[in-house]
Structure 1
């Protein structure tokens, strides 16, 4: 079936149409590398490398308990499918005996920017951690395929893109899959995650798990539909190490973060129908045309830029520079792009230098366009900010919020900064008593609503539900004292959620918090309490605890937050 030319033509057309209308910023359509797994027996050695060398500690990371092998029983092709099999069996290698075996395949192909499609069935057995993911080709991981020639950079500075993970989110509903990104700014228990519940059982049905990686953002898709996009507004090596080639990894890990493997476990298999990588290979020599840039909405802390250009490739790359800051983003040919620059100072003149290029580097003839705008004066009755906190759903970039008192009226303005949402509407939520009111669109994804007849000095609590094609995201509730210069506050629970600490740690857990902490408890993965402190301290001595993964419970008042932590 897979060798049918007609099938491939029909499929390519279907995928092009499917992804052409998906919520991705750049559509990649030229197949540059694939494995269709058409030949039974050993995995194609020209395309895949078995990574079997143990780390220096003698154990794989995250407390995993398996040996990765090149045995035919752990990875093979049969009936057009790659089988990766995790098994319960004693196996000795490199002088170490383990009770489980599995396979970890590295692609011998690396690339920068493009789309990856993997059609697969994913096992759900307790204690297993199947993953489809990518690592920087420059990672200095002993035993990896590219390490000896290109391994110059430590993890996570090499960047890690997890297309699919299952088994490490036991608190989530059945058939929940997760995608994640690991960078120097967030790794291990990273905050850069997105997930979705798959409608049809992932162990019994094939699904297409995809990532669309452009110079501007990384989007994750399930069966052609985006469910999470990573797009930091200002990209630095700390939050965006994704400008170097990456390679693919397919594996099933056992135990550790995935939990204890049950005693009656025998084996489980991940079946992969195909792996395909798409890029755009056509040489483009036509420059972008009709490039325009104008000023949109202006507040005391933000300026909106309205950009437009056309290009035969269908995609425009815009760059906005001001001061020492430079932001890049993608736009669709012929479609106005709203770019909101936030975090500005009130009553200040800003000069923005804007350029337009296609993805081949061809520049618009009228580059650059310089725009000048002065932010509005800061009213003593305005309070504003930017956040990514959500009480429902999630935000890939975040949102702006502003409360302004005018007499006995309060004007509430919210601006969605996410660029991966389409068809956006905004609904204002009042916390108590709960009511909801449609907000008025100002421009782009900026919405406002004025509530009247308020009492000066009273406290109001509001949030906003952003609804869009394919889902919704709801901001946290913010408390505002009417007539105040700046009294916006999050509820205690939200503030507690903002605690942070280095992860992993060695001897001491140093917790950073804006509020007083009443108690800290540490549990192992079996649920046993191993450490407890009831003093108001942000430094917890863990020198007497064994290395491993723990759950840390932090209390403040009647609120509690639980997070994972690794002790080395």
Structure 2
């Protein structure tokens, strides 16, 4: 047990904050509510409510088998510690008899946005489900402390935040704890889950289980270290019902989805040293300083912005407005943030208005910084096809190969409607398959890294679905090429002309040591006629913007290429 004075609380929180600044978007500094459990006996009724009313039907959810009680044997304070005890005992309440009893406490304090810290030891007995969690104050759950006055919204539309739960993940390693979010878009067996294996035994050692909740995201921490953050791209009533006050629940459930209870079970405890809630009540008037923003790497579809600033809160938030869209990010004070603005159009100029602010909304004094940058020609080949090497296609599929630095992003979309669809990227050399990432609908993507400019890669995609599969033909793509911009090349002539569109210098990589080239304009007027080596730079800086045609003749044949001059 750890005795706590106000000075110790502030000092320990200061130490935690030194690690937290770099991990969460808002750091909460002011202790607004706590229970240190310093008075022996019954649980402090000013802080806590015993929720004992059975749901309709006489059983708790998830096939649990316990009665929740207000008995002193199930919840009490002793020597500065809250003891929550689950017991095997016959107990009759509300005309229902059950074989197990346990506690379920509701905090009488509710809040919106902040940080919760709970220092606890957890039971690991088979069939037990200890939990530290939160529900919205407006949840319609008969018997809850806030229900009579505020219970108007059904679960899961109210939103549920599971700070820590143990016992329902028996397939995981020992000492594994998890956090979860239940929302209308994902509830019950939710996909919004993060977990971590605790280094020291959770039943014999205290650990601090924390949740940091801001308007932007919810992060879960173990002993001050973030292990899962929930931050959906679209925040609406389906994905983000977390904009109303929530209260804290402490309980131990028995059986049900926690699995069979041990035959020798008699009782077990979750022991809690403290529960603390932090918010920011002190007005912060200090604006971020040293705010800088510059353009970083540029591709045909993205522009990187390098952002930096310092602030006393420990973090700086950045917002970017570029006419057709907006983007936001945050970074620890003094740490450069790389923000990639993606899905941009090639050969297009963009103006970015970049602003910085702290968690309190104080703007940087030199807001806004205006940046201009033009995307490059998109080095992409794309199209639609119906050819198959296995199975068949009706409507066919779309494909795209895009070079981004030394990586190639490969995207395929199946146009035939299929159920249970997955896509696997098939590499021709050293035949192998890698499952692709679903984007939306029937679109899948995969990025292969560490590619060499001008090398040729060969890939197909296997679409597997209910009761069948279809495999596309193999596509050969030259890394760095931009055939979608008019590179008219036969499959036999692997020659390269870049960048295209070109601003000044056009690089030619040809197959022969002696190559005849002729450049003409749209009217067919001959502008350049030369015999060049296999590597040659054609200076087009004196030509006007427009479309030109390059004719290349060598021992491999004749090739005509459309060149766009910016």
TM-score w.r.t. the length of structure 2 is 0.66
Aligned residues: 422
C-alpha deviation, 1:31, in angstroms: 1.8
3-state SS in 1 of match to 2:257: helix
After superposition, what is the alpha-carbon deviation per residue over 1:513-540, rounded to whole angstroms, capped at 9, x for unaligned? xxxxxxxxxxxxxxxxxxxxxxxxxxxx
CA contact (8 A) 1:299 1:376 kept: yes
- Residue in structure 2 matched with residue 450 of structure 1 by the alignment: 451
- Residue in structure 1 matched with residue 184 of structure 2 by the alignment: 184
- Residue in structure 2 matched with residue 147 of structure 1 by the alignment: 147
Q: Sort the Cα spacing of 1:326 and 1:455 in 2 relative to 1 into closer, same or farther, 3 A.
A: closer
3-state SS in 1 of match to 2:450: strand
- Residue in structure 1 matched with residue 247 of structure 2 by the alignment: 247
CA RMSD of aligned residues (A): 3.6
Structure 1 gaps of 5+ residues are 384-401, 415-428, 435-445, 462-478, 486-568
CA contact (8 A) 1:381 1:484 kept: no
CA contact (8 A) 2:455 2:478 kept: no
Measured in 2, the distance between the counterparts of 1:339 and 1:17 equals 24
Measured in 1, the distance between the counterparts of 2:288 and 2:124 equals 48
- Residue in structure 2 matched with residue 54 of structure 1 by the alignment: 54
CA contact (8 A) 1:404 1:410 kept: no
Say whether residues 1:267 and 2:267 are aligned partners: yes
Q: How does 1:160-559 map to 2 (within 5 A)?
A: 160-321=160-321, 326-346=326-346, 352-369=352-369, 371=371, 373-381=373-381, 404=402, 411-412=407-408, 449-451=450-452, 457=458, 481-483=475-477
After superposition, what is the alpha-carbon deviation per residue over 1:202-242, rounded to whole angstroms, capped at 9, x for unaligned? 11111111122233322222122222222234433332222
- Residue in structure 2 matched with residue 72 of structure 1 by the alignment: 72
Measured in 1, the distance between the counterparts of 2:431 and 2:457 equals 19
Say whether residues 1:103 and 2:103 are aligned partners: yes
Measured in 2, the distance between the counterparts of 1:327 and 1:158 equals 28
Q: Sort the Cα spacing of 1:193 and 1:261 in 2 relative to 1 into closer, same or farther, 3 A.
A: same
C-alpha deviation, 1:123, in angstroms: 0.6
C-alpha deviation, 1:376, in angstroms: 4.1
Q: Sort the Cα spacing of 1:431 and 1:188 in 2 relative to 1 into closer, same or farther, 3 A.
A: farther
C-alpha deviation, 1:271, in angstroms: 0.6
Q: Tell which deviates more after alignment, 277-286 or 124-133.
A: 277-286
Q: Sort the Cα spacing of 1:481 and 1:58 in 2 relative to 1 into closer, same or farther, 3 A.
A: farther
C-alpha deviation, 1:199, in angstroms: 1.7
C-alpha deviation, 1:366, in angstroms: 4.7
- Residue in structure 2 matched with residue 116 of structure 1 by the alignment: 116
Measured in 1, the distance between the counterparts of 2:195 and 2:229 equals 11
3-state SS in 2 of match to 1:11: helix
CA contact (8 A) 1:301 1:375 kept: yes
Q: Tell which deviates more after alignment, 341-350 or 106-115.
A: 341-350
Measured in 1, the distance between the counterparts of 2:11 and 2:379 equals 60
CA contact (8 A) 2:27 2:313 kept: no
After superposition, what is the alpha-carbon deviation per residue over 1:83-118, rounded to whole angstroms, capped at 9, x for unaligned? 111122222222322222111111111222222211
Structure 2 gaps of 5+ residues are 384-399, 411-426, 433-446, 463-472, 480-566
C-alpha deviation, 1:119, in angstroms: 1.0
Measured in 2, the distance between the counterparts of 1:105 and 1:329 equals 37
Measured in 1, the distance between the counterparts of 2:454 and 2:353 equals 43
CA contact (8 A) 1:216 1:328 kept: no
Measured in 1, the distance between the counterparts of 2:60 and 2:236 equals 30
Q: Sort the Cα spacing of 1:217 and 1:405 in 2 relative to 1 into closer, same or farther, 3 A.
A: closer
Q: Sort the Cα spacing of 1:281 and 1:5 in 2 relative to 1 into closer, same or farther, 3 A.
A: closer
3-state SS in 2 of match to 1:457: strand
